[in-house]
Structure 1
């Protein structure tokens, strides 16, 4: 095993004046204090006078099995991956890095969390994967490790904002719950969920199938609008998604629960989705988002991407159908993250075992026990995570920001609306933002810029508040 070191070697470029990106190791420990592995995390911090009062943004990605490199390269890191402006053209297999023109460094310090067996973090060889690959175990050891980082840097009293993407939103709930139940006392000021899966179509189908199907209507409408199939006006994907969301949670869901869709509603659905009346009648009466994604361009021999329905792939690919909105990104961003780590941290290999940075580890997801989206979580119930989130927000008095892309068929803009209604918090405590993008909404240039403005305002509001009741 290589020696465990920390910091950034002198002479490395720090592209954001007044801020420093450095790395350190933190032990991952079980409830009984046993060592589970070694976490290698980086943080973008300020050393200016009074920096302890700055908010701390704790950043998780999802998967399970994804490292924080996605959010560093796409949204929050000092170097950003240069992708096509429209988010649709093919990305270079070796994308360039550029200095981020805007970020949150002026407002908040950022801790980038890579769970065990992702990034440079490594599980101890004597620890079985099952000990760390479940929602409760993952949330517990990460909550303890974040608390160690906060104490180590004198930030126990700083306002903390948890930002989780996709399954990382579920991880944020688990971490916050652990602090509330077991300590330490952390000043939880806000939670940001990007393309959340706390309430998702796949799981909700087991307990409320009709609501799950209705949640997908905004994605179908936005996608139809993008491909020129929607007859709704205005023909803007976000406007189509908003119109579909209102319809989905009103007349459409009521009709689904009655078991019959009246003719006038079929006409409205046909205009929004571009689907013919006969196809809508065959849906009997619900429209399946995943089926629509696979059949909308079927006549052209194409299937639409799961993570971004604006991308399509040939169904007769000899390698088998591969999601065009994800498959090309993993190797490209993996190479970009290698250069990012080398340039900013001086790390080409993990200081734990000498292996390379793992942007996404499919083995973690494959062996996850009962908590990942679409896994064996069925016994928990489709609304259980949403209700746990509500309990966290009420007890901590933290605010919530939900953000998603309207072309996302993993999370989804419709799900955010239903989640906000389910939480039933006072006005102003939950805000929703939708973008003309897919699951990784920050990889679309215009959406990244707009979301950063929204995120900046959220951080300024909750991070600068006088909230003094810690979690």
Structure 2
């Protein structure tokens, strides 16, 4: 891997940022690509496939090297006269996350067997994945430049790629290169993105359409489209989190006794936009009586005391909810999946916030990393000792989120890439999109996704191209074994 050094320069908006250039003398040679023939077997069905780990050259229009994107491809063997076979390009988000979770955790041919809401052991069990999308499509897992094993070319400013638009551009170039290198032009192309990968998907599906690269379908797992909801103090953020709070409170027996999961969540969705949202818009124009009454009603739904809710002016941020709901038990809930818990921080050391700790990540990601590295050994790919699943401290913190929505003529610091989805669907009205969310996902709440898509005012024929699915899971839907089974069926139906 390359050693990098920071160089200050001016960003696109005229503000100083940090560009990373590569010290060529310290770069270790990149390993050669490696392939292995493997077999997937499950319930009497089997697939012979080839797993290939290697690099895709990402180049400018003039052929200059921008970087080498690490890819792990699974291609099923088929007769020479077989019909075309879909290929799905898959990635996680971050920004700064490698694609390991959706591979060995989710839809790849092998997966780590999870254990409900329990922390996985150091030596997890790995099995042929009964829900793998390889049954319907070849799979290419991609790591964004600067993440995982992907590297940025010498004398290239990383910050040019660590942005909403630069990132989508590099993925469009990598996809075109892979299709060319593997002779797959004309096969159905699908995109699968999770978390920030859905931001990438939204821009990428438009960019590919503009570059005359047809996309058959796009899968959005745990989506975020309008970044305003992520800004501190955003009323849209509080509204989106409210149904997730309600679902979590019911899960832990703090609210909703005697209700079923789906109806309780649906009622909270309705309450958020018909009662809670209008109240937030009124701010301190609510009368004391109205504020007290609403705090009491919220308390019954999300399990926090009315006093805490009222003291916070009806606005409960995620950090407050996570450390308050189970405070009497000394526990903090997860963020990616609020059903997971961990022990509260040690207050004697000044630890009062769990924001950088997430039990739902701690429970599975070390096991995924170990399984992935063993998988590369089996393929014969000699990767570097360190493969960071997340490079967020370097990449995500400096990420340029500014973006000009199509036809807007203005760059927004908090982009709404839902408009890119609308533009892409109008470019290619035969494309379909599957949007999947979880009730216990506090990182990308489902209410916001529904709201963002509804505000596009798509014509009816395009609305029919968009399908929404809601599961009883968190951010990483595949961690939950019952959900994985449903996810596998829905993905199979969508690609078929």
Report deviation, 1:218. Answer: 0.9
Say if 1:14 and 1:275 are closer, same or farther in 2 by CA, change over 3 A: closer
State the match for 1:469 in structure 2: none
Say if 1:120 and 1:227 are closer, same or farther in 2 by CA, change over 3 A: same
Relative contact order, CA 8 A, sep 6+: which one is greater? 1
State the match for 1:76 in structure 2: 107
Report deviation, 1:153. Answer: 2.4
Q: How many residues align?
A: 443
Report deviation, 1:272. Answer: 1.9
**Are residue 270 (structure 1) and residue 295 (structure 2) matched?**
no
TM superposition score normalised by structure 2: 0.81
* Structure with greater proportional strand content: 2
State the match for 1:256 in structure 2: 280
Report deviation, 1:382. Answer: 4.6
Query: RMSD between aligned alpha carbons?
Result: 2.8
Deviation string 1:185-233 (CA, Å, 9 cap, x unpaired) is 2221221111112235643557xx2222111111110010011011364
Q: Say whether the 8 Å CA contact 2:229–2:236 is kept in structure 1.
A: no
Q: Say whether the 8 Å CA contact 1:133–1:364 is kept in structure 2.
A: no
Report deviation, 1:62. Answer: 0.7
Deviation string 1:362-407 (CA, Å, 9 cap, x unpaired) is 344345332299xxxx972556222222222222222222112211
TM superposition score normalised by structure 1: 0.85
Q: Structure 2 regions of 5+ residues with no counterpart?
A: 1-27, 404-409
Report deviation, 1:337. Answer: 0.8
**Are residue 119 (structure 1) and residue 148 (structure 2) matched?**
yes
Q: Say whether the 8 Å CA contact 1:203–1:381 is kept in structure 2.
A: no
Question: Which of 254, 266, 272 is residue 229 of structure 1 equivalent to?
Answer: 254
State the match for 2:22 in structure 1: none
Q: Say whether the 8 Å CA contact 1:19–1:105 is kept in structure 2.
A: no
State the match for 1:211 in structure 2: 236
Deviation string 1:104-144 (CA, Å, 9 cap, x unpaired) is 22321111111223233222344343232222222112111
**Are residue 437 (structure 1) and residue 464 (structure 2) matched?**
no
SS at match of 2:469: strand
Task: Give matches, 1:111-260, under 5 Å.
Answer: 111-181=140-210, 183=211, 185-200=212-227, 202-203=229-230, 209-231=234-256, 233-236=258-261, 238-259=262-283, 260=286
Say if 1:42 and 1:60 are closer, same or farther in 2 by CA, change over 3 A: same
Say if 1:379 and 1:5 are closer, same or farther in 2 by CA, change over 3 A: same
Measure the CA separation in 1 of the matches of 2:227 and 2:375.
33
Q: Say whether the 8 Å CA contact 2:323–2:332 is kept in structure 1.
A: yes
Deviation string 1:14-73 (CA, Å, 9 cap, x unpaired) is 665233222342112245532122223122223324556222211011111211111111
SS at match of 2:146: coil
Measure the CA separation in 2 of the matches of 1:41 and 1:141.
13
Measure the CA separation in 2 of the matches of 1:31 and 1:133.
19
Measure the CA separation in 1 of the matches of 2:221 and 2:402.
16
Worse overlay, 193-202 or 91-100: 193-202
Say if 1:319 and 1:449 are closer, same or farther in 2 by CA, change over 3 A: farther
Report deviation, 1:265. Answer: 5.3
Q: Say whether the 8 Å CA contact 2:31–2:382 is kept in structure 1.
A: no
Q: Structure 1 regions of 5+ residues with no counterpart?
A: 461-471
Measure the CA separation in 2 of the matches of 1:191 and 1:131.
25
Worse overlay, 332-341 or 253-262: 253-262
Measure the CA separation in 2 of the matches of 1:319 and 1:9.
51
Q: Say whether the 8 Å CA contact 1:159–1:189 is kept in structure 2.
A: yes
